[in-house]
Amino acid sequence: MAHVKLFIPGPVEVSPKTFEAFCSPMIGHRSKSFQELYAGIMPQLQALLYTRRPVFLGTSSAWGIMEGAVRNLVSRKVLNCMCGAFSDKWFDVSQRCGKAAEALQVEWGEPIRGEAVAAKLKSGEFDAVTYIHNETSTGVMSPIEELAEVKRQFPDVMFIIDTVSSMTATRLAFDELGFDVMLAGTQKAFALPPGLSVFVCSEAALAKAKTQPDRGYYFDLLEFEKNAEKTMTPSTPSISHIYALKSKLGEIFAEGLDARFARHVKLAGMTRTWAAKHGFTLFPEAGCESVTLTTVNNGARPGGRVVDVQKLVDLTKQRGFLINGGYGKIKGTTFRISNMGDETEATMNELFAALDEAMQEL
Ligand SMILES: *Cc1c(COP(=O)(O)O)cnc(C)c1O
């Protein structure tokens, strides 16, 4: 069967070049070759995240690290900032980890504002916050600079930041922002296959983890720290992913970070233009639209055109492209188009041509 190219917001399309790197011959994870592989990409990982801290590699999808961060860093109570399916879920996950948790819920489509977080933290009850920079279900990118300002007001609170669908697509300067954990899975903006996570922790996070009795083993931040000193990982990592990551980092730095960030801004703008051309409005509140995906309104909010989303998805798929028909409670009343990873103006235009044809057939 012919391959249907992915324009869903994860997993995203993986290039043949990346797969070729993924299929490099296996090496031992306690070998000098592995240490050289990891040490070789560490400077690029640090440059990507604007950090001097070691960048850790976890073998799991993002939720492993999200859950691990809660287990390692919450002792009193966690504030879960909720504005969509992924951030809402973190409240549930915190409770499943046995933690006291409180929801800071805003309407889907709205961002998390710094002042709302600060107002909650003033109570002094919380020792951690979870926050999703780019809520992939709603297509909202929350203003992360506002959150960094809140962190400066509450330096002792652990700020755990999911940048799953924004890391590599926009400037996320970990040391400058001052957060405690910043994490992503590789199947979103990295455009690698799913199964690897990239994350970084502050020194304060590691000090806090030391005081936690029940960190477990697989996601124990102190294990990651101890092993990263030898450029190794706590347990056997997905070495294939790390080869693919090395190849991808080469591409990222050949393009240049600023050019890569600008490309994402441009392509998301093209997608919004396509939507407007067909009479659609957008789901996110104006001004906080993501740069990596567009969540088109299709009846979830008043205004704009409404079409049969499943039919649009099917007709587009017949033309070789897959978009997503909405996620969670806004499935069908929104649809999502990703521009993460390797996409260019040319490849986006191929998608828009197929979408235009599909719209005519609706
Ligand atoms: C995809 C996604 C997740 C979940 O990642 P998994 O790979 O399924 O563990 C979490 N947060 C955000 C913002 C995401 O886009």
Residue 188 banded pLDDT, cuts 50, 70, 90? very high
CA-CA distances (angstroms) from residue 269 to 168, 192, 299, 314, 362? 18, 24, 21, 24, 24
The residue whose CA has the least distance to atom 7 of ligand 1 is 61
pLDDT recorded at residue 333: 98
Q: Spell out the residues 6+ positions from residue 289 whose beta carbon is closer than 8 angstroms to its own.
A: 139, 140, 141, 268, 272, 282
Angle at 196 between CA 195 and CA 199, to 5 degrees: 145
Contact between 7 and 319 under an 8 Å Cβ cutoff? The reply is no
Average pLDDT over residues 332-354: 98
Asked if pLDDT for residue 4 goes beyond 80, the answer is: yes
Domain with CATH 3.40.640.10 in the chain: 16-253
Domain with CATH 3.90.1150.10 in the chain: 5-12+256-360
Token pair 């049969």 is found at 308
Token code pair at residue 81: 């900032």
Give me ligand 1 centre to Cα 86, in Å: 7
CA dihedral 37, 40, 43, 45 (to 10 degrees): -30
pLDDT recorded at residue 21: 98
Residue 159 banded pLDDT, cuts 50, 70, 90? very high
Compute the distance between CA of residue 173 and CA of residue 279 in angstroms, rounded to an integer. 37
pLDDT tens readout for residues 208-265? 999 999 999 999 999 999 999 999 999 999 999 999 999 999 999 999 999 999 999 9
Asked if pLDDT for residue 1 goes beyond 80, the answer is: no
The residue whose CA has the least distance to atom 5 of ligand 1 is 62
Give me ligand 1 centre to Cα 185, in Å: 7
Best mutation site among 136, 182, 192, 292 for ligand 1 pocket (most ligand atoms within 8 Å of CB): 136
Residue 289 banded pLDDT, cuts 50, 70, 90? very high
Strand partners, 289: 140
Residue 133 identity (one-letter amino acid): H
Angle at 104 between CA 213 and CA 337, to 5 degrees: 105
Average pLDDT along the chain: 98
**Ligand 1 binding site (Cβ under 6 Å of any ligand atom):** 10, 61-63, 86, 132, 134, 136, 162, 164-165, 185, 188, 194
pLDDT tens readout for residues 116-128? 999 999 999 999 9
Domain 5-12+256-360 has CATH 3.90.850.10: no
pLDDT > 70: what percent of the chain?
100
Give me ligand 1 centre to Cα 98, in Å: 21
pLDDT recorded at residue 331: 97
Please name the residue ranges forming H helices in the chain. Answer: 16-22, 32-48, 62-73, 85-96, 114-121, 144-153, 174-177, 203-210, 221-228, 239-255, 257-277, 309-318, 345-361
pLDDT recorded at residue 2: 86
pLDDT tens readout for residues 347-360? 999 999 999 999 99
Which top CATH class is 16-253? alpha beta
User: How much is the pTM?
Assistant: 0.98
HSE of 75, CA atoms in CB hemisphere, 13 A: 12
